[in-house]
Amino acid sequence: MSEGTVVAQQMRPAAERRPLVEHALVQLTLVRFREFWREPEAVFWVFIFPILLATGLGIAFRNRPADVVKIGAVGPQLAAALRTEKSLAVDVLDLAAGEQALRAGRIVLLATPAAGGGVTYHFDDTNPEARNARMLVDRTVQHAAGARDAVPVTDALVREPGSRYIDFLVPGLLGMNLMGSGIWGLGFAIVDARRKKLLKRLIASPMPRSQYLLSFLLSRLTFLYVEVAALVVCGALVFGVPVRGPIWELALLCLISSVSFSALGLLIASRVRTIEGASGLMNLVMLPMWIFSGVFFSADRFPAMFQPFVRALPLTAVIDALRAHMLQGAGLSQLGPQLAVMSGWLIVCFFTALKLFRWR
């Protein structure tokens, strides 16, 4: 420090004591809150939209009672025999009308009497429902003719929450939401501030630069828990979607996921100067994850050769971990691979972003 500084400092009054709310980090974080709440669209997309989506899909894919299978039978005798099975809806038709109905898909199977007291089944063996119908019809026909089960069996029905589509969907939407708000939330705000030369103005002031980034993290963490709680509580109350693992582990999982996605957002925003550039880059990064990471269907459905790529995506790890935790009650110790993928992305993105970041 030069001699001039010492003299100059002696002339200035010492730093004043100030209440907590006047500290830079608190003020920067308050700015983040205010900018968010004063943007109604952001509130909609982050909080309302995922709940609407979950509700809509939940209704569309709700569990119905086991379906009744529609079949046709030629001749009243055969029809009467088949009607003893409750899950078959039997139409009595003549052969021509029956074939017509089969072709039109109004029935999936047509049973006709054959020579020698036999029965012929007309059906499309590539249609799973028709194959299912054939088994049902055949069992009914055999039983009606006096066949008996060699082994006595009883059915114990399991319709437990946790294995329905809505149970599968809610963790997927949660992961997607964490990704969206992490990447957009951080990326957009930074690119917008750079575009407006606000970043440049801020670094011309004595603002501690690390606190600027920290304010994003703090506000993210606050919103994170509001948005996770909204979706999880809504899923639990409306559809009975379970959270089987300890709640603090869910909180920790969401925290790690959100911080990883925020780091990815920071990396995307490290150089871009325009909103268009940022949107393009963000969509480029998020699109593969929307498709491959198993938000709406299992990522296992992709061919084996894609799996290493699919498994390396941060959203796949997040969704896998959330599903395992919420639906199977898996503890963090069982989620090692997923946590490793998330932390890997976090570390690589964060340090690359710090290296690339431009305030101007």
Partner 1 sequence: MPTLPNKPPVCVHGLRKAYSDVVAVDDLDLEVRAGECFGLLGPNGAGKTTTIEICEGLLAPDAGTVELLGMRWENDAPELRQRLGVQLQETQLSEKLTVDETVRLFRSFYRCGPSVAEVIAMVQLEEKRSSRVGGLSGGQKQRLAMACALVGDPDLLFLDEPTTGLDPQARRQLWELIERFKTEGRTIILTTHYMDEAERLSDRVAIMDHGKVIALGTPRELISSIGAEHMVAFAMDGGGAAPLNLASLESLDGVRVARCENGGYELQVRELHRAVAALFEETARRGIVVTELRTHSATLEDVFVSLTGRHLRDE
Which residues of this chain interact with partner 1, rule CB under 8 A?
1-5, 7-9, 11-16, 22-24, 26-28, 30-31, 34-35, 38-39, 193, 196-198, 200-201, 203-208, 360
Smaller CB distance to partner 1: residue 10 or 333? 10
Considering beta carbons, is residue 89 or 217 the nearer one to partner 1?
217
Residue with Cβ nearer partner 1 (39 or 67): 39
What is the closest distance, in whole angstroms, from the C-beta atom of residue 8 to partner 1 in the complex?
6
Minimum distance, C-beta of residue 179 to partner 1, in the bound complex (Å) = 25
Q: Residues near 275 by Cβ (< 8 Å), separated by ≥ 6? A: 188, 191, 192, 195
Token output for 55: 């509700």
For the chain, how big is the Rg over CA atoms in Å?
A: 31
For partner 1, the closer CB: 355 or 360: 360
Q: In angstroms, give the least distance from the CB of 315 to partner 1.
A: 30
Neighbouring C-alpha atoms within 13 Å toward the C-beta of 180: 19
Least distance (Å) from partner 1 to the CB of residue 198?
6
Q: Could you tell me the CA-to-CA distances from 18 to 28, 153, 210, 344 in Å, in that order?
A: 16, 78, 20, 40
Residue among 106 and 358 whose Cβ is closer to partner 1: 358
CB of 36 to partner 1, least distance (A): 9
Shorter beta-carbon distance to partner 1: residue 38 or 355? 38
Q: Which is nearer to partner 1, 34 or 103 (CB)?
A: 34
**Shortest CB 325 distance to partner 1, Å:** 37
CA-based nearest residue to 105, from 153, 151, 132, 72: 72
Query: Tokens for 288?
Result: 């593969």
**Min CB(314)–partner 1 separation in Å:** 30
One-letter-per-residue 3-state SS of 163-202: CCHHHHHHHHHHHHHHHHHHHHHHHHHHHHHHHCCHHHHH
Q: Of the two residues 52 and 198, which places its CB atom closer to partner 1 in the complex?
A: 198
Q: Residue 238 CB, nearest distance to partner 1 (Å)?
A: 33
